[in-house]
Chains A and B, each alone.
Chain A
Amino acid sequence: MSVTQTGIDVPLMGFVGEVLERLGDVVVAVEQCEPRRGIARVDPARTVEAAERMFAMDGSRLVTATGLEVRDGIDVLYHWALEPQGVVVTLKVLATRPDLTLDSLANVLPAANWIERELHDLLGANFRDHPDMRRLLLDDTWPEGLHPLRKSFDQIKDRPPLPANQSPPDVDVDVKAHRGDHS
């Protein structure tokens, strides 16, 4: 199954169909339109516009984003929940190789701040104009450019060396040394 194909266009219906219709021309293909779930592919150049239109709708909320490594790059799936209808609309955006770069949503949407930092850490996606792109999840000694959620990363074989041990204290901490003959 290839995710890069531009989609099996499905008829729009129900509340999900209404939402996708209101997004207008930022949607390039609709992959799923069911009563409670919708999946649509969005033009990578207009990610921010799509997010702004979603955010303007009543009861919409950015749940999170999922990064998926595919043949042509990284698919970023923005999951939007709409309440009280209880539907989840997923907007897929492809960040193509080799630069894997998308526009950041964090400036218009604080909820996207952490998840974009996480995608940068774990998958190596880059976000243009992100206000605060520091490391979020990986530890301080983790090498730059090593992304654990990539399919090529083996979680056992490709582990970087462990952080250095702290130097032991100068005082002798051997408990046996404390054993006296006072008893």
Chain B
Amino acid sequence: MSHKTIINIGPFHPLQEEAEFFQLHVDGETVIDVDVRLSYNHRGIEKLDESKTFDQVPFVVERVCGICSASHPLAYVQAVEEIAHVDVPERSLYLRTIVNELERLHSHLLWVGLAGHFLGYNTVFMWAWKYREPVMDVLETATGSRVNYANAKIGGSRRDISDEQLREIDKVVGELHRPLDMLTNAVLDDPVLHARLKGVGILSPEAAKAYGAVGPTARGSGVPIDVRRDDPYAAYDLVDWDVVTAPGCDVFGKAVVRLLECYEAIKIIKQCIKQIRPGEIDAKVESIPPGEGIGRVEAPRGETFHYVRSDGSNRPVRHKIRAPSYVNIPTFKASCIGQQIADVAITLAAVDPCYSCTERMCRVVDADTHVQVYQFADLVRLSQQKTDRMRRS
């Protein structure tokens, strides 16, 4: 029996800088097409930046996305530094690396928690977010805010981190090892999670390339791309670390990549703290010459790309921002089709869109009668029930 239905997810579903509205076309239980409508979160930042001076723009771009609020300003200042040919002091490079890796830690822990929630493991949600709090605390002591760090400025860093704070960061990330072991083992050893995540939401390496997928979404499909290694910025070429990939191409692979990247982040932070030397943190840039520059940063979700064009005045002529999810969301077209509805929630979550607001306004509408059949909460419930069934059998 064929019964086609349209499922609306959204619009209250922000993803990086864009909230969006998904329409899943389903036939019975199987997804046959995905459509996305953006605009809900479009604020016009690129135009706004043209009215700001070069120094003001970092504060706007860190509000592109609250979770990548260290990556966006860094990508922007790197683009401007490329135009002005600035040599950034070494201490500042280390400071940037430390803040960016702390951001990656908190972002990945956030994702692990939300993924747990969608699968009906609310304990994982609570525990992951509990262990995320110490990371937020050290970010607050080091930069002054839990989430908007205002860390990078053109030519260096806005604020130094004292030795005492560095020791505190070292201690806190060292203590994260044990909870991370626990979470990783919980994911790697749980037969139900294997059953729920393996072979779900397959994104082949070819599709990843065609859609231009980046970050853990691509690395979970075995594509070893990472801006930190390929186009090193900050202090990533001064420390020793590995690019994590997983071969599965499925949601499980993406989860593994994120968990293992937490260990790499700890490794990077610890080395930075060991190697950092006292010194200047600001190159004191006077003016920006005409030209065009590109800044690339590996944000927790993938490559953040900024293009800045200057005409020699004190404002950018054009500032193009490309957040990682902009290329990762269209991969749903490749990974969701053929899935069951109960698996959609976790497949969408695997790309790590911010799900904080997704939990409502999702409706399943009968395509013939337009009668509402499901709420998004029901989708999550379906997903949780499936886990429950597997756990019992």
Contact = CB atoms under 8 A, between A and B. Distances in A.
| A–B in direct contact per CB < 8 Å | yes
Interface of A: 1, 36-37, 39, 59, 61-64, 66, 68, 77, 79, 81, 83-88, 90, 109-111, 113-115, 122, 135-140, 148-149, 153, 155
10 contacts: A63-B212, A64-B326, A66-B307, A66-B318, A83-B230, A86-B231, A87-B231, A110-B211, A111-B211, A155-B48
A61 B47 CA distance: 26
Contacts of A136: 37-39
A64 B302 CA distance: 14
Contacts of B229: 84, 86
Contact of B322 (A37, A63, A68, A148): A63
A86 B210 contact: no
A13 B42 CA distance: 41
Nearest to B228: A86
A110 B39 contact: no
B230 A155 contact: no
Contacts of B212: 61-63, 111
B89 interface: no
B39 A139 contact: yes
Contact of B42 (A62, A66, A79, A138): A138
B44 A148 contact: yes
Nearest to A87: B231
Contacts of B42: 137-139
B296 interface: yes
Contacts of B18: 137
Given A61-B209, A114-B330, A155-B44, A79 B51 contact: no
Nearest to A136: B38
Interface in B311-334: 311, 318, 320, 322, 326-327, 330, 333
Contacts of A114: 326, 330
Contact of B294 (A61, A88, A110, A153): A88
B330 A68 contact: no
A148 B42 CA distance: 12
B305 interface: yes
A32 to B, nearest CB: 9
B303 A63 contact: yes
B40 to A, nearest CB: 8
A59 B307 CA distance: 21
Give the 3 A-B residue pairs with the shortest CB-CB distance, closest first. Answer: A86-B231, A111-B212, A86-B230
B179 interface: no
Contacts of B294: 37, 79, 88, 90
B242 to A, nearest CB: 14
A64 B305 contact: yes
Contact of B227 (A62, A86, A149): A86
Contact of A138 (B39, B51, B210, B327): B39
Interface in B1-38: 18, 37-38
B151 to A, nearest CB: 23
A157 to B, nearest CB: 12
A118 to B, nearest CB: 9
A64 B320 contact: yes
Interface in B52-111: 82
Given A1-B290, A81-B296, A153-B47, 14 more contacts: A63-B212, A63-B305, A64-B326, A64-B327, A66-B320, A79-B305, A81-B303, A86-B230, A86-B232, A87-B231, A110-B210, A137-B42, A140-B39, A148-B47
Contacts of A140: 39
Contacts of B309: 68
A36 B37 CA distance: 35
Name the residue among B211, B290, B294 with the largest chain A CB count within 10 angstroms: B294
A154 B191 CA distance: 58
Given A63-B303, A148-B44, A68 B318 contact: yes
